[in-house]
A = this chain, B = another copy of it.
Amino acid sequence: MPEAASVQATVGDSEFDRDTAVRRREPGVYDADLSAGWTIISAVNGGYLLAMLGRALADTLPHADPFTVSAHYLTASQPGPAVIRTDVVRTGRTLSTGQASLLQYDDEGREIERIRVLASYGDLGSLPDDVRTTAKPPAIPPVEQCFGPDDAPAPVPGSSAITDRLFLKLDPSTLGWALGAPSGNGEMRAWFGLADGRDPDPLSLLLAVDALPPTAFELGISGWVPTVELTVHVRCRPAPGPLRVSITTRNLAGGFLEEDAEVWDSADRLVAQSRQLARARLTG
């Protein structure tokens, strides 16, 4: 676990909660500030934005937990003011569905849509205990044998403000890119937490699936790999403690790639699964 501040942050009282907070102006309209503290290669991290949208939807809908969230990323978000507009699509007994848009303002003050989301919410605590998961946790070395940005001999490409918010220790077998020797395998694995020690919860899982370096780096592709669309399934409230995130790319073709992420908690539950479609500028 990260070296904690003298008081460990808690769910509701942490950098993540502060920076994903939304203020309800009126039903279905929330004001927000996109923090500069969650940027990666100067871009506001997509998972951070998804978590903020997820928080607004949790307020809008009668169910509190994201079950499946589908986001289409339209234009690049910038640190600064934003508004989130939500709509209820359908409410049911065990599931409700909503839609949300994140918008910012151009120089004339007009709204420009950044992201649009469809999401179905439920109550993770009410799910039966029957677990027949056949997937296995990733083979990742103990955290002491993994490496984060602070361990790098020189600033690594992609180091950005977000690395100060996260506890991220990468599997050395997915770190070749940082040493100029990408493996050629579309894989990225890491231990993951929040730097201030806040435990994970369903909303922070929306961040976790998009907070590792891109698999593209291990495929020898440098530069920005923007997300076109990201769908996350949250399957379980995560247990306290560090998460393990394992990302795989198997279909890099035609200038696009998919990243499949699995998030495992300290109780060895597969708590979230996601797939994103991203653009890769192939350079050779």
Contacts and interface: CB of A to CB of B under 8 A. Distances in A.
Interface of A: 67-68, 70, 72, 74-75, 89-90, 95, 97, 99, 113, 116-120, 124, 127-135, 185-186, 219, 228-229, 231, 233, 235-236, 249-256, 258, 269-270, 273, 275, 277, 282
Which 4 residue pairs of A and B lie closest in terms of their CB atoms, listed nearest first? Answer: A127-B254, A70-B70, A135-B250, A68-B229
A173 to B, nearest CB: 16
Contact of A116 (B99, B132, B253): B99
A203 to B, nearest CB: 18
A134 B228 contact: no
Q: How many copies does the complex hold?
A: 2
B132 A252 contact: yes
A233 B277 contact: yes
B228 A120 contact: yes
Contacts of A134: 185-186, 249-252
A112 to B, nearest CB: 9
Nearest to A92: B74
Given A116-B118, A118-B72, A254 B89 contact: no
A133 to B, nearest CB: 5
Nearest to A89: B116
Contacts of A75: 90
Contact of A67 (B231, B252, B269, B277): B277
A202 to B, nearest CB: 13
B251 A135 contact: yes
A254 B119 CA distance: 19
B255 A235 contact: no
A221 B87 CA distance: 35
A128 B70 contact: no
A251 B235 contact: yes
A257 to B, nearest CB: 9
A95 B72 CA distance: 11
Contacts of A275: 231, 233, 273, 275
Contact of A74 (B74, B90, B135, B249): B90
Contacts of A228: 67-68, 95, 120
Given A97-B116, A251-B270, A277-B233, A256 B127 contact: yes
A72 B72 CA distance: 14
A86 to B, nearest CB: 14
Contacts of A117: 118
A254 B128 contact: yes
